[in-house]
Amino acid sequence: MADKVIATIVGARPQFIKSAPVSRALAGHFREVLIHTGQHYDHGMSDVFFEEMNIRKPDFHLGIGGGLHGEQTGRMLIEIEKVFTEVKPNCVLVYGDTNSTLAGALSAAKAGIPLAHVEAGLRSYNRAMPEEINRVLTDHVSTFLFCPTDVSVANLEKEGISSGVHRVGDVMYDALLHNMELARGRSQVLSRLDVKRSEYALATVHRAANTDDRDRMSSILEGLGKLKARVIFPVHPRTRKMMQEWGLSVNFNVQLIEPVGYFDMLILQENSNCILTDSGGVQKEAYLFGVRCITLREETEWVETVSAGWNRLVGADTQRIIETHASWHPQTERLPLYGDGHSAEEICRVLVSALE
Contact 113, 27 (CB under 8 A): no
C-alpha separations of 322 from 26, 56, 101, 206, 275 in Å: 45, 43, 35, 20, 13
Query: Is 236 annotated as catalytic?
Result: no
Segments of the chain assigned E as strands? 5-10, 31-36, 60-61, 91-95, 115-118, 144-147, 165-167, 200-204, 230-234, 254-257, 274-277, 293-295, 311-313
Cα distance between the two ends of the chain = 6
What is the DSSP code (8-state) at residue 247? Answer: T
Phi, psi of 64 (to 5 degrees): -105, 90
Count CB-CB contacts under 10 A for residue 20.
24
Contact 34, 20 (CB under 8 A): no
Question: Which residue in the list 166, 206, 236, 325 is annotated as catalytic?
Answer: 206
Question: Which residue type, as a one-letter code, is found at position 37?
Answer: T
Spell out the residues 6+ positions from residue 71 whose beta carbon is closer than 8 angstroms to its own: none
Give the catalytic positions in this structure.
Answer: 206
